[in-house]
Structure 1
């Protein structure tokens, strides 16, 4: 089962309603925002895990259970841009998206930890798990990777690796 499907599966049985109440939105808007946010979050994490240092930092966040840290790992200083993007695609106000993302992060962390511990990635590591998910996301949601690259590429050079390295440097301070 994909990470995306597993997280969406966790939102059954009243969980989506609880999320909606916590952010002050209706379930339909919340569901749309979740479906827009998760591919971006997972793509950001996959990009981050492509370097040994990024994968190590991400694994530390998962072990520590720090949801906000997971968002920082995925989006760096560009979280507001992601919030605006999710808002535009889902119709949910950006302020409500900002409240939603930290609530989604623990769900994603839980699924990542479960799949990592069960050897869900082809190589058993976090990077391979996220790369496999990235491949599924690109098949299901073409353009997610390129859209995220444009959002995270702060200097416009077409590569996020230098931007990610800069974010990691700031994160470690």
Structure 2
């Protein structure tokens, strides 16, 4: 598994979506739609932060010391009795570091697009962030990434690679640098799904056998 499309369409992705849905009491379709927009946005924010040597070193340190991918080994256990507060606290810390002062803007935009309230969006992001970082940490180990350039390439590859990833990154950075209303999230999700604009529901329906 190398990218976000692979994650969302894999058995682990189904487990992630259904687990987060159970955590918030929302449908898998609603939750999957939010994650389809949110995960590339979070990864793009990480890539932007990692564009400086200090940011890249900070991310690599977090991946080496705490987010090595082990969280992915037992998602069933993670979601089985409800996600521990420690995981959500960890997610809140990741979001604060990655999104900074733009966190409320991101949550509001996702709320507008999904129809969920911002507190539910915040919970989804808090649970998803450590899992996303674990996924990146696992890829870092597998690809033996140990410098800033390698980290940029890793994140770019996970976002789809090539022109598509550059377009997606530009959209994400313009969103994070503006006070936009969230309409850009459709395009971010479209690129994350390989250009299937408007097909998010269809893709998710396919994931769950609808």
- Same fold by TM-score greater than 0.5: yes
Aligned to 1:25, the other structure's residue is in SS state coil
Which residues of 2 match residues 92-111 of structure 1 at below 5 A? 92-111=116-135
Is the alpha carbon distance of 1:29 and 1:35 closer, same or farther for their aligned partners in structure 2, counting shifts above 3 Å? Answer: same
Between 1:142-151 and 1:17-26, the stretch displaced more is 142-151
Q: Which residue of 2 aligns with 1:45?
A: 46
Deviations 1:94-138 (A, max 9, x none): 2211110011012111111111011176x8832221133345396
Aligned to 2:109, the other structure's residue is in SS state helix
Contact 1:2 1:133 in 2 (8 A): yes
Shift of the alpha carbon at 1:154? Answer: 6.4
Which residue of 147, 154, 179 corresponds with 1:129? 154
Does residue 17 of structure 2 align to residue 4 of structure 1? no
Gaps of 5+ in 2: 68-89, 180-210
Does residue 57 of structure 2 align to residue 56 of structure 1? yes
Q: Which residue of 1 aligns with 2:74?
A: none
Larger RCO (CA under 8 A, 6+ residues apart): 2
Name the CA distance, whole Å, in 2 between partners of 1:148 and 1:92. 21
Deviations 1:24-82 (A, max 9, x none): 21111101000010110111111111111000111223223443333233211211111
With normalisation by structure 2, the TM-score equals: 0.62
Contact 1:19 1:30 in 2 (8 A): yes
Name the CA distance, whole Å, in 1 between partners of 2:138 and 2:175. 29
Which residue of 89, 93, 97 corresponds with 1:69? 93
Contact 1:83 1:97 in 2 (8 A): yes
Q: CA RMSD in A?
A: 2.8
Which residues of 2 match residues 157-172 of structure 1 at below 5 A? none
